[in-house]
């Protein structure tokens, strides 16, 4: 993989830097700013070399045109605070404001361009449309640095196409993420435990196929577990369920047995009458969820069992909260699991947390980033890597 260091002396050069600044916004207020903080070291590394750094990023899912609620303006302010120096904000991405700000740059300056996805070319499926937008981005700079790990699985203009138009290299964040993923895939230290949870069931089922080849223990919680319980013939009430995936899951269960991979499912769950913190809730056996209730967390017995598996592992990858942790009554399972990862880390295990909500969960529950070996900034990207897929934003950096 080509890196920043392959780009030579960057002093006085205009560097287009793709970062991942896709943070949760409540109005104009930033929630977890983890991704902004993670972007800072590469920006500093470039400005300290005297480069002129043009940061580009997306926020949310605007539909190819400007939409105020997705403006990166609040991010520019937060980025300036974290850098301890000013950040000029261009109110468009490649038009007048961007050109004006970029022209006025001096060595060591930082400009943040407005949301890339305010331009239809960014995410277009049409190669020519993407290419045209990538040309406009490329016009602003001398070289391109790819540091938005959260988007490297996307074939998008600012991730894939622009790298073909400028000398390019991976930033430190992308390099570090890839190094960790290599450790998870190439000969991981055993026992290797993978914990999956969260809400995006079908997104995450795909990775199991490949993990059955490398992991020793697969621990399943969160919303996806109910498709597993249903596959075992249990009633899951009003819990999240993907009926069309039940057969696939049955296949995984059989495959796991053949391959000697231990699949650990909860034996108890916290079942509530509705998706609300105030709802009536109780701990029930996982094979006896009442038909009018939904499972919103793993139960205490399961949390303990999951934690034991994690603590005795030498390598742990965790993606997806164990329950609807945003609501206090359903946070205990996620908290206990996070605590087990911390203990595993202290015991010398490699522990990796992936996924935006999982990262937010561990921070919200009071853990520090340094409690784990690595908190990935890219949930989807790390899952696709572990799935064995080719990531366009990484392969384009190979040559
Ligand atoms: P990540 O961003 O870490 O990849 P996901 O986006 O897949 O994770 O899922 C996170 C969401 O899953 C959280 O908002 C959480 O409330 C929800 N969740 C976890 N367990 C359940 C459950 N049993 N039922 C409904 N939602 C759940
Ligand atoms: Mg998520």
Residue nearest to atom 15 of ligand 1 (CA): 324
The fraction of the chain above a pLDDT of 70, given in percent, is 100
pLDDT digits (tens, 9 = 90+) for 17-63: 999 999 999 999 998 898 999 999 999 999 999 999 999 999 999 99
Q: Is the CB of 188 under 6 A from ligand 1?
A: no
pLDDT score of 200: 75
pLDDT score of 37: 94
CA of 15 to the centre of ligand 1 (A): 37
Ligand lying nearest the CA atom of residue 223: 1
Q: How far apart are CA 354 and CA 150, in angstroms?
A: 10
Atom of ligand 1 nearest to the CA of 204: 7
User: If you average pLDDT over every residue of the chain, what do you get?
Assistant: 96
pLDDT digits (tens, 9 = 90+) for 126-150: 999 999 999 999 999 999 999 999 9
201, pLDDT greater than 90: no
Count of Cβ atoms closer than 10 Å to residue 261 Cβ = 20
Atom of ligand 1 nearest to the CA of 327: 16
The fraction of the chain above a pLDDT of 90, given in percent, is 94
115, pLDDT greater than 90: yes
pLDDT score of 204: 87
> Token digits for 218?
């697969």
Active site residues: 35, 200, 356, 380
Ligand lying nearest the CA atom of residue 354: 1
Q: Any idea which residue has 């960014």 for tokens?
A: 122
Residue 202 banded pLDDT, cuts 50, 70, 90 = confident
77, pLDDT greater than 80: yes
Q: Is the CB of 355 under 6 A from ligand 1?
A: yes
Pairing of strands 315-319, 294-298: unpaired
Q: Is the CB of 298 under 6 A from ligand 1?
A: no
Exposed, middle or buried, 8 (CB in 10 Å: 0-12/13-18/19+)? exposed
CA of 355 to the centre of ligand 2 (A): 6
Q: How far apart are CA 123 and CA 351, in angstroms?
A: 33
pLDDT digits (tens, 9 = 90+) for 165-199: 999 999 999 999 999 999 999 999 999 999 999 98
pLDDT score of 203: 80
Residue nearest to atom 18 of ligand 1 (CA): 324
Residue 341 banded pLDDT, cuts 50, 70, 90 = very high
pLDDT score of 397: 98
Average of per-residue pLDDT across 353-357:
90
CA of 115 to the centre of ligand 2 (A): 20
Integer angstrom CA distances of residue 4 from 8, 134, 146: 8, 20, 9
């Amino acid at each position: 993989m080509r890196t920043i260091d392959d780009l030579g002396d960057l002093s006085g050069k205009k560097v287009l830097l793709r970062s991942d600044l896709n943070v949760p916004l409540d109005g104009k207020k930033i929630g977890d700013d983890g991704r902004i903080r993670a972007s800072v070291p590469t920006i500093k590394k470039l400005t300290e070399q005297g480069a002129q750094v043009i940061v580009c990023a997306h926020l949310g899912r605007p539909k190819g045109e400007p939409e105020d609620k997705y403006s990166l303006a609040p991010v520019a302010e937060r980025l300036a605070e974290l850098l301890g120096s000013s950040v000029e904000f261009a109110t468009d991405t490649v038009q007048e404001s961007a050109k004006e700000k970029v022209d006025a740059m001096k060595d060591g300056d930082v400009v943040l361009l407005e949301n890339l996805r305010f331009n239809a070319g960014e995410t277009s499926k049409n190669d020519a449309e993407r290419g045209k937008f990538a040309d406009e981005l490329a016009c602003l700079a001398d070289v391109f640095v790819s540091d938005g790990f959260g988007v490297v699985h996307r074939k998008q203009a600012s991730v894939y196409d622009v790298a073909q138009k400028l000398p390019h290299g991976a930033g430190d964040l992308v390099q570090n993420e890839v190094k960790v993923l290599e450790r998870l895939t190439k000969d991981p230290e055993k026992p290797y435990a993978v914990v999956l949870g969260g809400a995006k069931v079908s997104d995450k089922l795909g990775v199991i196929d490949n993990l059955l080849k490398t992991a020793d223990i697969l621990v399943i919680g969160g919303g996806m577990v109910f498709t597993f319980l249903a596959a075992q013939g249990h009633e899951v009430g009003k819990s999240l369920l993907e009926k069309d995936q039940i057969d696939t899951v049955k296949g995984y269960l059989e495959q796991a047995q053949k391959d000697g991979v231990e699949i650990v499912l909860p034996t108890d769950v916290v079942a509530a009458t509705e998706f609300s913190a105030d709802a009536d809730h109780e701990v029930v056996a996982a094979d006896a969820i009442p038909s009018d209730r939904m499972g919103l967390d793993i139960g205490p017995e399961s949390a303990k069992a999951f934690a034991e598996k994690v603590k005795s592992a030498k390598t742990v990858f965790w993606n997806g909260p164990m329950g609807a942790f945003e609501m206090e009554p359903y946070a205990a399972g996620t908290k206990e699991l996070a605590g087990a990862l911390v203990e595993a880390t202290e015991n010398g295990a490699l522990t990796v947390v992936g996924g935006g909500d999982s990262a937010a969960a561990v921070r919200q529950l009071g853990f520090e980033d340094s409690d784990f070996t690595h908190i990935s900034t890219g949930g989807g990207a790390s899952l696709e890597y572990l799935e064995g897929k080719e990531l366009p934003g990484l392969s384009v950096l190979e040559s």
